[in-house]
Amino acid sequence: MTDGGPNLVYLVTGGCGFLGEHVVRTLLEKEPRLRELRVFDLHLGPWLEELNPGTQNVIEACVQTGTRFLVYTSSMEALGPNTKGHSFYRGNEDTPYEAIHTEPYPRSKAQAEKLVVEANGRKVRGGLPLVTCALRPTGIYGEGHQLMLKFYRTAQSTGGWLFRTVPPSVEHGRVYAGNVAWMHVLAARELGSRADTMGGQIYFCYDDSPYKSYEDFNLEILGPCGIRLLGTRPLLPYFLLFLLATINAFLQWLLRPLVVYTALINPYTLSLANTTFTVHTDKAQRHFGYQPLYSWEYSRDRTVSWVNTRKGYPSQ
């Protein structure tokens, strides 16, 4: 973001993605000082497919163009759950936790987050300091959530049933995309006036969505769409699920030269789903006045409505 006095210019990278679209919409609706909105995304045109900006390149672009404020979209997976399956129960940004990553996505998020935090205070063109912060959403849901739509269609293929694979005692934090977008807009807006407080900080994204297992939470959305969850406990023992996940990972590796094979269950997603990871924090509220813009009931109903409108569409 560049500060043009009373008028602000925003650049949203990944602006055509699930969260990016929510950020763009929130800026247009909720940022009165918006003068210009620029959207960058690899899907804008085929000529962009050869570019790989990377987080370090984004930081360097800020330095060279005199852009002073950078809000990075990280993920809870930059921290965990780790590969040892250690629970993170009602933790906050200062809770000790052993971050151990083997998969590319969480490892890259952790590395990028570190680059952004360390870039805080670096001089940009014109001599003023760069001010950065990173936001860590937990599991995001909302309109445009293609994975939720995939769960719906999977259940439709089995007569409207989903089969429980995760114990209901395993809790996860979920957050509505509209509230994540609002936190991004508010953080960007306040970085200039609260640089000493916010600069170089990491914030979990949170709202009033209930703590539940992934499957029980998904049923909050899919239940009103006619889907049911079979079983009060996992129908298959964990070792069989792990065997299936390992087979899926092997098939993915075996078929990689020919086709892209993606399965809902692999060793990483199985571990993620079976490890409690919930946050309880008010750091964003204390540092820059964040409050969820949308209630849980509104967020749920909007997501349910979106799934219902997509029922007749072909799979993407």
Q: In which residue are the tokens 């703590």 written?
A: 211
Catalytic residue of the set 10, 72, 97, 105: 105
Cα 274 from Cα 269, distance rounded (Å): 9
How far apart, in Å, do the first and last CA atoms of the chain sit?
Answer: 33
Q: Is 105 a catalytic residue?
A: yes
Indicate the angle between helix axes 177-190 and 18-30, nearest 10 degrees. 60
Q: Scan for tokens 């000493």, then name that residue.
A: 196
Task: Check: CB of residue 258 under 8 Å from CB of residue 251.
Answer: no
For residue 94, which phi and psi values (nearest 5 degrees)?
-105, 0
**Whole-number Å distance between alpha carbons of 118 and 304:** 40
Give me 117's structure tokens.
């935090």
d(CA 137, CA 190): 19
Q: Which residues are designated catalytic?
A: 105
